[in-house]
Structure formats: structure tokens, C-alpha cells
A and B are shown apart, each in its own frame.
Chain A
């Protein structure tokens, strides 16, 4: 699809189910109980894709919800980031976990270079600047 989604495209699962695919290419109509029982569909097939999140971001933007759209874009970048790295980065963003700005900047670099999560990396970099200025790189426990 070349044009951005509009409000009339929503809900995607109803208006264009053929465009809704799982991470391994399973179509919505293939995600059936029978397929789960035989093992053709696993947990991996029940995950959202960057594609779906970008589509939802377009719909949010069309509905004049730009901040929600940006969150969906950041989310789309995180889909393929391993859970452990997500949890580690979240932990680093909590107050006092990182003892210096460099630690957060390194996490941002990994997001950008390894996972191509550019918007998310910008977000973490912004945090590192603010934490530095507001003295959050302090010992808490």
C-alpha cells in the first residue's frame, strides 16, 4: 500500500484483513485454533509487526493524534529489540540507575546502530541530557 492509511481503513482487521500478517507471514485467517493445535501457529505468530504499528501510526495521525502516532512509531522500532535489552534500557532510564550520561548514550547508540531504532534512540538521548541537567545520575540505593 502506497498511500497512508486513513480513518476509513480502520479497523484494519475488518477492512483489509489480507494486509494483516504475523511476523512469519501468517495471515489473520490462518491463525486458527486448528493451526494452534497442530503447532503451525505458535506464540511467535501472535506478535505485532513493525508494519502493523506503522499502519496504526498513520491512522492516529489521520485522527489528529500526532503524539500517539509517534509512540506507535517508536514501538514499531522496538518490535524486534530483544526483551532483555528492552528491560535493561527501561531499568537504565529509571532514576539513579545510570551513574553517568555515558551509560544512557551507549544504550541509545545500541538502539540506533544495532536495532535501527532511531526515534527511540533520540528519545533516550534526550533523557540523558535532561537527567544530567536535573542531577538524576545520583546514587539512590
Chain B
């Protein structure tokens, strides 16, 4: 006896989906697995005595931990807090989504709001309201994006090529890190050179150990830093080997060196570190954000970041990531809004994750987008990576949304990569670091990822990196080397970035460089107040975004058909005999072809030559002993009407209608136009033998038989997305050839040595 499986097989199908690689966690506030609220979260509250905060969210001053204390002293504005905290959180929530309430009003109130109050307010918004409020509250009007540029070998040639490529795609910032920490200097030099190809203004950071990162910045290679992490509980902070004061000191140190800086925080870090105090993810992250404003950093990288995957395992986790971004911008911080760590194996979940940011914009939509392949991402794979970059470009086009990127054609991509590799090789030679061979360089220029390269080994790179550090090489040495070797544009571009330090303009909130000018929340403030306000695509920017590669137009379709015309002439000859008439021969089966069939159009959407298709149809009819007769119609290009018109002329009363794109129908005299005998609508997957079977069945109907209908099997291909653009263009060519009331022609078809 065979056992009967006691399971709906669909679950087995689902087991195979990438989604099932994602693991989900049950909601459990006491163990830290709660997105928005936990019984341990404090109730909002503030007490002020003589301008001093003496109680914050229910904690008395003497019991403040160092985070409470830092927030009470440096974030809460005693002149505003009583007014702001007296407001109902539901009222504040309404104001966040009320497009007529300017963001300045809400930003002012935020200076007096405690972490618990901010979290309680935002918790009342659903996902769409959070996204809408984010669009209104983010500080800079123009959206931007950041790329990761790393590789599995820390190969400097590839870093330079990939940095230049990222710049070409329009990233406003690029961030690198290393597989081996001592390679930091080599990575920094390589990305600085690559990032100077094509245009100037892409800001660059080299994520490394705090002290080393600052040294690299002082040598002029980098222009910003963002891996200054803060945490929402005292114990997690100490375990992270810092305090609010050490990080605040670092914030001042970076600014004192003219280097832009933002902090990093995000839900889930305290949970991962084991010190969550049973508080909700949102509440802990809100503490982090109040701390950051208190420290006086211009911005944050938040939205889970390394904690995004674990946050996405709990109910409402992804909504929480959006909520914490909203609190960041409500606190008037620049927001590099996460969308970096790959939170899921499901492409549906990741597409849904990115959408609100793409539609509404963000200072840096991803922090960062993996511009390189997944396996080359030394931060771990991003939400979007080199593999999916074109998907992102198409999303921009679909929604006419500015995701910060611009499509790059193949020739330009190759150009900038070759230029970057040549520039870096010249610098390496000038500075006595290395002499890369032609083969090394060429392998990198065309490489999609480090698997394809024959370049430096990790050890060789380490030696180079240590030499850069030991010799005290600075960006000035690199600029001189570039200039000496004729890379004048790159030398100028690199100098322009370093020169930003003199004015410090780019230290202001949400600063980036566009078209050689600093754009920040100061001179490009988000002024969203409803439709027509805030950021809108200009006609020029829209033209850039829609310009993806391989877009069909009718000329392209005709060009490709013209290529097949000559070939078809070797296989078939159509000869107009006379006006077609009704036959009285019972064996007569008419094949009605469309106006452009074999005249303007020569192959079906499946790629079959029309001569082969017509040959199969006639063979099928003849196989049943009947006689095929080809008639070209001019009054219609519609399959049903072609079929019915053919049937009307056929002595047997049965006809086949076929369009040049391969769509076919069997019809019978006297039936309603759309009530046919058999329809072959999926031309792109219809094979030649199906056309023969179609001929056989048409003849069978003509003989009064009821044959087994022909099924063209499909496996759920998205026929519309694959073929409809081309199909509609082909069909338009056919309809343009129709002429009302034009009489059909009887055609003599000669097959000239047809091979199929």
C-alpha cells in the first residue's frame, strides 16, 4: 500500500521559495523582540526646574543613566519642552501628515520632545503615513544615494574602476571598507582616484577603525565619515567601547579636520548585543537619535543598518525601520536611510522595502547601495547590489521617481573604468607603490566582479597600503602624480573635493555636491507643502531617468524585420492571382493572412520564418486530404476577423486567420467573430509543429470531425512584459496597412526549398 501524503503539496512548493530562507521571530517584548511598543517602554514625561531638566520620561535626574543625562542636557530645549510635551501625541501625529503644516513647525517642537514622546507619536502612523511624513520632513529637497565600493580581494585597481563606475551612475557618496583592515590606506587611495574620474563632487569615506579613519581623513583621501555608532542603552554603548561623550568628542574632531560626519544607529543593535532592557526597538533607536542631535552631528545613518535583518524578523519590523527614519528627519538630521543590509532573500520583500524611499526620496536612499556584486561587498550584501542595479533603474523609470541614479551606456562604462585603472596605475608607479601589468589592468576594466580579475593579491595590497601609511603619502602627493602623468582632469577633480574643507560649507546638514556646487538643507531646503511643492523631476532629469538601455521603438522593429526580408525571399514567393472569391469546393480550407504578412513583416514573435509557418499550416491541411488556399485580407489585421473572413470564403466553411506576429485562429462561417473554434494567442511560445497541428485540426473541422484541441503549453511566463511592446508595434505596422472595404486577394504561394 502506498502511503497517502497528508500534506497539501503547495506547502512543499512554498518551501522551495527563497522567502523560506528568511527566518521569522515571534513577538516577545521581554526578550527584546518588539518593534513599536513594549511594556518596559517608559511613558512620555518631562519636568523642568529653573531651566534644568529634572525628570525625563519618568526617570528622575539622580537616576539618569548617561544616555538620559546627555539627552536632558544637550537635546531637550527647556524653553520649548513644556509646550511641546503638553501636546497630545495624536495631534502631533496628525501634524506630521498634514501637508499644510510646514516642517519647521514640527522641527521646532522636536527640540522639546523626549524619546518616549517621539516614539509614541510616530507609532500612531501606518506605513503609508510614515512614508508620506518622511517625504515632507526630510531636510534637503533633492534626493541622493550612496554606493558601497569594495571587493573580495581589496584589489585597488578594481576599487578605482568600480568607484569611477559608481560616480558615472550618479552616486553622491561612495563608501569602502576592507577584508583586511591594514589595507585601509590602499583602499582609500584607490577609491579617491577612481572617484575623481568623470566629474568632481562625489564624497568618499573609508570605513575603518575610528582612529585610523580619522588619520586617513587627515591625509585628505576621504571627505566624510559615517561609522560613528551610537547605542540606545548604556550597557550596549559601553560594550561598543564608547560613550556619548567619546562620540561627541569624535564629532567635533571630524569637523575640526573639515570632514563631514554622520553617526550610525539603528533598531536591533542593542538586541544583537544583548543589552535591550526589554524595551521596544523603536524606543531604543529614538534614544540614539536624540543623542545624535544632542551631540551636534549633522546627520545619521539609520534604518536598522546592521540590525535591519533582525528587525525584519519581528511583526511590524519593516514599518519600524521606516518609523525610525522619520524620527531622524523630524529631529532635523540628514538621513542616510538604511536600505543597505540585505534584509531578505525574497525579491518581493526587498522591492517593497525600497519603494517608499524611491517614491518619496531621501537624503541618501541607500547607505549604501551595493554598486558591486554581492560577493564583492565587504560590508555584506546590500538590499540592492550590482546584480540588481538595472532593476533599480527601471523602478525609477516606472514611478518617475528620482532614486539618485542615472543609466550608463556600455561605451561610457568601459571608458570610465579604463580611465580609472590607468589613472591609478600611473599614481602607483609615480609613488613607487607598484607597476601593474597590462593584463592586470585589462582584466579589471572588463571584470564584473573580482572572480574575473587577474590583479594584486591581498598580501601585495597590504604591502602597498603599509607603504602609503609609513611614507605619509597624502592626497597632495596623489594629485601631483596624476597631474605629472597627464591625468589633469582627475587631479583637478580630486583637488576640488579637498578644497571643500576650506569653507566647510559641506559640513552643514545633508550636504552633497551637485554640478560643482554644494547643496544642503540650508540652500536646498525641503519645502514640501503638497502637490506641486517639494522635489519634482525636471524635464531634463526625467529624460535621464527614462533613458534605460535596449528600449524598442517602431523603427527598431522595422529595421530588424528588414534584415529578415532578404532571407525570406530565398524561401517563399507570394504572387497575387486575382480577387479572392467564395469557393464551392467542399475540400477548400482558406488560410487568411494579414496585410503585412510576408510583405513588411517576416517572422513571428517566436522567431519562426513566416514561410515555415505557412508551409506547416498547408501541410497540416493536406495531411487530412483537403486543399489549402491562401488569401490575403486588406480590410482587417484582427485575428478573429481574419479567421471569420477566411471561413466565409472557404468552400468547407472553415478557415484559418493568421497575423504576421504568429497569432492564429480556426474559424467557421456563421459563428460570431469572437466565438472561434480554436485560438492560438500565445504566439511567442507557439512552435512550428503546433502550426501543423492547427492545419490538421482546421481540416478535421472542415470534415465535420471534433478533434482534440491543440494546447500550446505555457509555464506562467509573463508574456505581456516580454512581448507586448514588440507585439503592439508590429500590430501597429499591420493596422496601418489595412484599408477599409479593400477586397481580398487570392495568393499563389511557392515554397522555395523550405528548410525548417
A residues with a Cβ closer than 8 A to B are 7, 10-14, 20-22, 28, 31-33, 36-37, 41-43, 46-49, 52-53, 55-56, 59-60, 63-72, 74-79, 81, 83, 86-87, 89-91, 93-95, 120, 123-124, 126-127, 130-131, 134, 136
Contacts and interface: CB of A to CB of B under 8 A. Distances in A.
Contact of B505 (A11, A63, A83): A11
Given A36-B480, A46-B220, A81-B256, A67 B294 contact: yes
A46 B243 contact: no
5 contacts: A32-B495, A33-B492, A47-B501, A127-B246, A130-B66
B502 A21 contact: yes
A65 B73 contact: no
Interface stretch (B81-89, B234-242, B576-584, B629-637): B234-242
B433 interface: no
Given A21-B502, A56-B505, A95 B241 contact: yes
A42 B476 contact: yes
B245 A120 contact: no
Q: Which of A47, A77, A87, A136 has the most C-beta atoms of chain B within 10 angstroms of its own C-beta?
A: A47
Contact of B332 (A13, A33, A65, A75): A65
Contacts of A79: 256
A36 B252 contact: no
Contact of B508 (A33, A37, A56, A81): A56
Contacts of A20: 502-503
Contact of A68 (B253, B296, B488): B296
Contacts of A134: 65-66, 234
Contacts of B253: 75, 78, 86, 90
Contacts of B499: 28, 31, 46
Contact of B107 (A11, A59, A64): A64
Contacts of A60: 508-509
A59 B520 CA distance: 12
A109 B161 CA distance: 48
Given A13-B503, A46-B220, A69-B296, A76 B256 contact: yes
Given A33-B483, A48-B258, A68-B509, A95 B238 contact: yes
Contact of A36 (B107, B476, B502): B476
A110 B245 CA distance: 17
B492 A28 contact: no
B505 A12 contact: yes
A71 B295 CA distance: 7
Contacts of B24: none
B238 A11 contact: no
A120 B246 CA distance: 12
A48 B257 contact: yes
Given A120-B252, A134-B234, A37 B483 contact: yes
Contacts of A120: 249, 252
Q: Which of B104, B249, B499, B501 has the most C-beta atoms of chain A within 10 angstroms of its own C-beta?
A: B249
Closest 9 CB pairs of A and B: A71-B296, A75-B255, A48-B258, A127-B245, A78-B256, A93-B246, A11-B505, A74-B252, A13-B503
A21 B488 CA distance: 24
A8 B483 CA distance: 36
A63 B107 CA distance: 11
Given A10-B522, A130-B69, A95 B483 contact: no
B12 interface: no
Nearest to A13: B503
Contact of B249 (A10, A89, A95, A130): A89
A52 B518 CA distance: 15
Nearest to B237: A95
A38 to B, nearest CB: 10
B108 A64 contact: yes
